[in-house]
Each structure stands twice: as structure tokens, then as C-alpha cells.
Structure 1
Amino acid sequence: MKDFDASGARRLETAADTQAFGEEVGHALEAGDVVILDGPLGAGKTTFTQGLARGLGVKGRVTSPTFVIAREHRSLDGGPALIHVDAYRLLGEGGGDPLGELDALDLDSALTDAVVVAEWGGGLVEQISSSYLLITLDRTTATLEDPESEARLASWELH
């Protein structure tokens, strides 16, 4: 990652703010980078990834990879592809070798030539990369304060 703080936190008031933060992160990513998204269902992981895809400049509509396990989005401008993974499903499908399972998906890009974003990625990245950016999205805290709030609390740390 280039030009991005190794750790921090930010309050994102709307889905558009979540996408804008994702776009900012996307601009800082390089081929071979791995991003793990943590947070409960509905926390904004896919919304964040939509912005990240804009920042990377990849083509294709970004949707949850739940039913396909992984989706590849090619670059529009010669940059790295985006491989968007549902690690929960990936870990459950193969039983023990997430890297082997990811390779078996026949993605056109080598993992070193792409940015990998894994929703529910804890337990996967430790096996596919020696370093990764962990982003946690928390929607619960803001809605406890104000049930009408759309806010998410995003925190991140480079490992």
C-alpha cells in the first residue's frame, strides 16, 4: 500500500461515505495487496468494496460474491485486477487449503498481479499473504446511539 496510514479509524455517516472511503483505499492499493473485511452481515463490506473497485479502476458491477465464492474484475487502465472473495464460503468449501481453493477457481489473474479483497477473511489471509490490511466495519455502535443512523465505524490496521 502506498500513501495510506498503517492504522486508523473513521466514522462513515452514509453508504456514499463508505464507498468514498473504499475508493480512497483503492487508490492506495497495488498488485499483490490483500484486504480483509471484517464485520457482521449488513455492516457495509460490499458497499466498501464497490468504492474500492472505483479507486482501483476496474470494470464490472461489484456485488456480494456469496453465490460465486470469488469474482474477478479486470482493470480498465492496465492496473491490477480485483479479486473479490467470500472467504466464509471459501473456507467452508475446501476444508483446509484456502490458497488451493482460491487457485482452483480458475481466475485469470495470478494473485500477485491482483488485489484480493476477502469478506469474512479472518483465517484466510494468514495463509495467502505475509501482510494484509484488516478493515473492520461496525454498524452496531452507531445504531445503538441512534436507531435511525446509517453510520458505520471503520477501523483499519496493516499487519
Structure 2
Amino acid sequence: MTGQDELVVRLPDADATRAFGRALAARLRAGDLVVLTGDLGAGKTTLTQGIGAGLGVRGQVASPTFIIAREHPPLPRPDGSRGPALVHVDAYRLSSLDEVEALDLDSSLEEAVTVVEWGAGWVEQLTTDRLELALTRPRGAGGTGAEPAPDRGPQPDEPDGDGGAGERVLRVRGIGARWAGTELASLVGAGPAADRGDAPDDEMAG
């Protein structure tokens, strides 16, 4: 996968979103940066929960809205080894690059998988390689289909800010040499729900 390629995956509900995260985690390694964007209730934290479960990290993965960043250390595997930690960041409240630098993400980047919600425009300078994930909820699929809105944690009757039922559309884009030539559709077992390239606008609208 080059910086010009894009994978489009349709995820029918929150469980599928979480399962995709688990599958993706099997392909992630220490030093990977994942930049995650999406509408209100699209399932950004749900996807990150799946990544955390797949990595086998300690603690409940929840939106780090008010503390900005939370690190989840790896649990020991059956063979005694440990995978990378998960650093989960919510960049929505950041207002300057100085605040990004104050998080000192560089110090943990090489030893952890770093997932940054609302990270577009803020964290690209950390590394030349990154995985961009963009979640949307098409109209009529339990989401508004509107432009991205502030995702401020759980909403009433929506655990983790995710409405649960309803399709999500996930766009995956690899940037840099780390992801060059990577066929994410086969790596995560996305199967027939995944397409290469752009989806037609009428499909995105649900």
C-alpha cells in the first residue's frame, strides 16, 4: 500500500468494528502510528478497543478525552513474551503544536503502538510512516452522515460514544515505507467487504 492507495471496509456494527481492530492489531508493531478520525459516534474508541484487545494490553480502553493520553502496558503472553504497549491519545482538545510536543509522544513511539484520535494535522511530524483510519456513519446507518463533529466521550444510551448498531465505513490509507506494498485487505481478512480505491459517493451516502 502506497500513500496513494486506499482500502474501504464496510463494518456492519460495533462488534465488527471492534473485531477489525483486533485483526489489525496482529499486523501492528512497536513504532507504528495510527491516526484515527471520524464522525460523532462513528466508533473511533470502539476500533481502538479492538486494537487494544488484539495487542493484549492492560486496562480498559476508553476515550482519553480529559487526560489527553493514556498508556496501556502489555500483558504477558502465554509464552512469557510481551508485545508493544498501546498509547491512546485524544487530540481534540489540543490547540497548538507546542501542546503536542508537551505530550512527549516521541519518547514512547518506538516502544508502543500509538493511536491518536482526532490526530490529523497534529501528529504527522512524529514519523514519516503512519496508518490513517477514517470512520464515517452513512446516512440511514445509525449515524448522521454529517461532517465530523466533536466526539466527547460516551453519549446517552451510546456506550463509548458508539451507537452500536448500524454500518460504519472505514477508509484505511498507509503512508510511508512501512506500509508500502502492504495489502491490508488480505492481512486483516477484510474479504468481500473491502474495496481498493475510492468508493462512489452514492455508496458512501448509504
The question of a shared fold, defined as TM-score above 0.5 by the shorter chain, is answered with: yes
| 2:64 corresponding residue in structure 1 | 65
Measure how far apart 1:125 and its partner are. 2.4
| 2:115 corresponding residue in structure 1 | 117
Instruction: Give unmatched runs, 5+ long, in structure 2.
Output: 77-81, 146-162, 176-206
| 2:167 corresponding residue in structure 1 | 151
* TM superposition score normalised by structure 1: 0.83
Alignment of 1:60-99 (within 5 A): 60-77=59-76, 78-89=82-93, 91-92=94-95, 95-99=96-100
Write the distance in 1 (CA, Å) between the matches of 2:88 and 2:140: 27
Paired residue secondary structure (1:36): strand
Change in 2 beyond 3 A, CA 1:98/1:34:
farther
Change in 2 beyond 3 A, CA 1:74/1:142:
farther
* Contact 2:97–2:122 (8 Å) recurs in 1: no
Measure how far apart 1:142 and its partner are. 5.1
Q: How many residue pairs are counted as aligned between the two chains?
A: 147
* Contact 2:142–2:167 (8 Å) recurs in 1: no
Write the distance in 2 (CA, Å) between the matches of 1:59 and 1:82: 9
Q: Give the number of the structure with larger relative contact order, counting CA–CA contacts within 8 Å between residues 6 or more apart.
A: 2
Paired residue secondary structure (2:20): helix
Q: For residues 30-88 of structure 1, what are the alpha-carbon distances to aligned partners after superposition, in whole Å with 9 as ceiling and x for unaligned?
A: 00000011111211000000001011111110000101100100001311100000012
Write the distance in 2 (CA, Å) between the matches of 1:130 and 1:102: 19
Is 1:34 the counterpart of 2:33? The answer is yes
Paired residue secondary structure (1:41): coil
Change in 2 beyond 3 A, CA 1:60/1:144:
closer
* Contact 2:72–2:85 (8 Å) recurs in 1: yes
Write the distance in 2 (CA, Å) between the matches of 1:156 and 1:86: 19
Instruction: Give unmatched runs, 5+ long, in structure 1.
Output: 1-5
Amino acid at match of 1:56: L
Write the distance in 2 (CA, Å) between the matches of 1:96 and 1:137: 24
Q: Percent identity?
A: 48
Paired residue secondary structure (1:42): coil
Measure how far apart 1:136 and its partner are. 0.7
Amino acid at match of 2:103: L
Measure how far apart 1:141 and its partner are. 4.0
Write the distance in 2 (CA, Å) between the matches of 1:99 and 1:69: 10
Measure how far apart 1:99 and its partner are. 4.6
Write the distance in 1 (CA, Å) between the matches of 2:129 and 2:34: 9
* TM superposition score normalised by structure 2: 0.65
Change in 2 beyond 3 A, CA 1:35/1:74:
same
Is 1:139 the counterpart of 2:155? The answer is no
* Contact 1:98–1:127 (8 Å) recurs in 2: no
Change in 2 beyond 3 A, CA 1:8/1:121:
same
Q: Whose Rg is larger? A: 2
Measure how far apart 1:27 and its partner are. 1.0
* Contact 2:25–2:51 (8 Å) recurs in 1: yes
Alignment RMSD (CA, Å): 2.4
